């Protein structure tokens, strides 16, 4: 059974209007977004569709309707153009007056909200803008955005610095609960000037959509040249040191661990104090076949005991490569294991046990 779309009366002249009368003369144009990021427990039509060229009453009536079947965060899914058309028809929208364009499908990433909305909402008709006396356990929109940005950059290490633009500052003080935030942004751009589109909901109803800008920086310790690194030389531990750097774009974020580059050959001259980049080095095998290697692992038992033993490499490999290693020097104690190259002549067992 189709659900008939009810249009909110805004004047006596519109009394009795239906979904078929939603657009008087012009066709409303809805645009399917190619990619969407959302937080919460549902993905709505307002998340996946751009209503900019549609009658505003259309957004008010169907914007908060689910765009797909119930989803459980975190998850990723595709919502196709045909599915959207079917969903609009199901809601009673007159497709003769509504055109859906844009992408053929929308890649949806649904993640768990940083703060879950409580089930029992306050019944009072509070204004959109709230005072700064937050409820216990509430998180501001600014806090939700910070948590998301820091989560995206967690694997990079360092400290994230975020400066929100003045425009939209008042919305950053809204909290969940009682509001819910659906956030969309370009996840490919993690640093520099970023813009987020936030749909504000209260009691399941869309209040409005706002845009928030933020400047994102990453401050971290990276390896720099402690002495000049000449072309053709090999990187040694005493030629490296740590220094703080500030990153404002998605550039090379430097090297965190010496083991990643010790033993590599210098491809481009690196002066003292300059950050070492991947392009400055020529990757070479840190472990060579038939050469002895140090194997790091642990003895399984009631207590974990770390041990180092010597083995023979059965493969060559660079940092992070998985190779085979032979342990033992006779048929009686011969054993073949697999490990990850973790340094010059060093292999760490993948299963941890010796």
Of 263, 282, 301, the residue that ends a domain is 282
CA distance 73 to 52: 28
Q: Are 298 and 334 in a shared domain? A: yes
As a 3-state breakdown, the chain gives helix, strand, coil percent values, each rounded to 5, of 15, 40, 45
CA distance 78 to 342: 39
**18 pLDDT more than 90:** no
Query: b/e string for 179-214 if b means 16 or more Cβ within 10 A?
Result: bbbbbbbeeeebbeebebbbbbbbeeebeebbebeb
**pLDDT band at 268; cut points 50, 70, 90:** very high
Residue ranges of alpha helices (H) inside the chain are 45-48, 56-62, 81-90, 141-152
**138 part of a folded domain:** no
Q: What is the pLDDT of residue 15?
A: 35
Kindly compute the dihedral angle of the four CA atoms of residues 69, 74, 75, 80, in this order, to the nearest 10 degrees: 50
Q: Are 80 and 30 in a shared domain? A: yes
**pLDDT tens sequence across 39-48:** 666 788 888 8
* CATH classification at residue 333: 2.30.30
Q: What is the pLDDT of residue 128?
A: 41
End-to-end CA distance of the chain: 64
**pLDDT tens sequence across 273-324:** 999 998 899 888 889 998 999 988 876 554 556 778 889 999 998 888 899 9
Q: Are 266 and 316 in a shared domain? A: no
**18 part of a folded domain:** no
Instruction: Please give the sequence-ordered ranges of beta strands (E in DSSP) within the chain, or none if there are none.
Output: 28-32, 35-39, 49-53, 75-80, 98-102, 105-111, 139-140, 159-164, 175-176, 179-185, 192-202, 205-225, 240-247, 265-266, 281-282, 292-299, 305-313, 322-327, 335-343, 346-353
Structural domain count, the chain: 3
**pLDDT band at 198; cut points 50, 70, 90:** very high
The pairing of strands 105-111 and 35-39 is parallel
Q: What is the pLDDT of residue 225?
A: 95
**pLDDT tens sequence across 161-187:** 999 988 888 899 899 888 999 998 876
* CATH classification at residue 274: 3.90.1210.10
What is the pLDDT averaged over residues 82-92? 88
**pLDDT band at 341; cut points 50, 70, 90:** confident
pTM of the model: 0.51
Of 261, 282, 303, the residue that ends a domain is 282
Q: What is the pLDDT of residue 26?
A: 67
**337 part of a folded domain:** yes
Q: Which domain holds residue 337?
A: 292-353
More confident residue, 354 or 222: 222
Q: What is the pLDDT of residue 134?
A: 42
CA distance 265 to 233: 6
**187 part of a folded domain:** no
């Amino acid at each position: 059974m189709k659900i008939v779309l009810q249009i909110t009366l805004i004047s006596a002249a519109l009394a009795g209007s239906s979904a078929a009368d939603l657009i008087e003369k012009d066709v409303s144009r809805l645009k399917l977004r190619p990619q969407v990021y959302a937080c919460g427990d549902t993905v709505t039509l307002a998340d996946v569709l751009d209503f900019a060229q549609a009658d505003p009453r259309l957004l008010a009536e169907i914007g908060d309707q689910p765009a797909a079947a119930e989803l459980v965060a975190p998850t990723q899914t595709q919502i196709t153009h045909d599915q959207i058309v079917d969903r609009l028809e199901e809601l009673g929208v007159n497709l003769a007056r509504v055109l859906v364009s844009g992408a053929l499908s929308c890649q949806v990433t649904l993640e768990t909200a940083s703060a879950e909305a409580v089930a029992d909402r306050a019944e009072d008709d509070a204004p959109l803008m709230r005072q700064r006396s937050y409820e216990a356990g509430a998180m501001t929109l600014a806090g939700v955005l910070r948590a998301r940005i820091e989560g995206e950059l967690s694997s990079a290490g360092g400290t994230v610095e975020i400066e929100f633009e003045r425009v939209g500052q008042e919305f950053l003080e809204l909290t969940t609960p009682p509001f819910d935030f659906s956030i969309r942004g370009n996840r490919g751009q993690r640093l520099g000037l970023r813009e987020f589109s936030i749909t504000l909901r209260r009691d399941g109803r869309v209040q409005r959509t706002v845009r928030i800008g933020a400047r994102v920086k990453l401050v971290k310790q990276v390896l720099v040249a402690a002495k000049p690194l000449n072309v053709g030389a090999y990187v040694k531990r005493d030629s490296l040191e740590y220094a703080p750097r500030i990153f404002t774009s998605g550039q090379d974020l430097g090297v965190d661990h010496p083991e990643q580059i010790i033993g590599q050959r210098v491809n481009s001259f690196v002066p003292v104090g300059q950050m070492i980049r991947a392009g400055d080095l020529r990757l070479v095998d840190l472990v060579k076949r038939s050469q002895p290697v140090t194997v790091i692992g642990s003895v399984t038992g009631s207590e974990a005991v770390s041990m180092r033993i010597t083995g023979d490499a059965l493969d060559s490999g660079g940092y992070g490569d998985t190779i085979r290693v032979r342990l033992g020097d006779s048929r009686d104690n011969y054993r073949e294991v697999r490990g990850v190259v973790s340094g010059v002549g060093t292999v760490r067992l993948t299963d941890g046990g010796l």
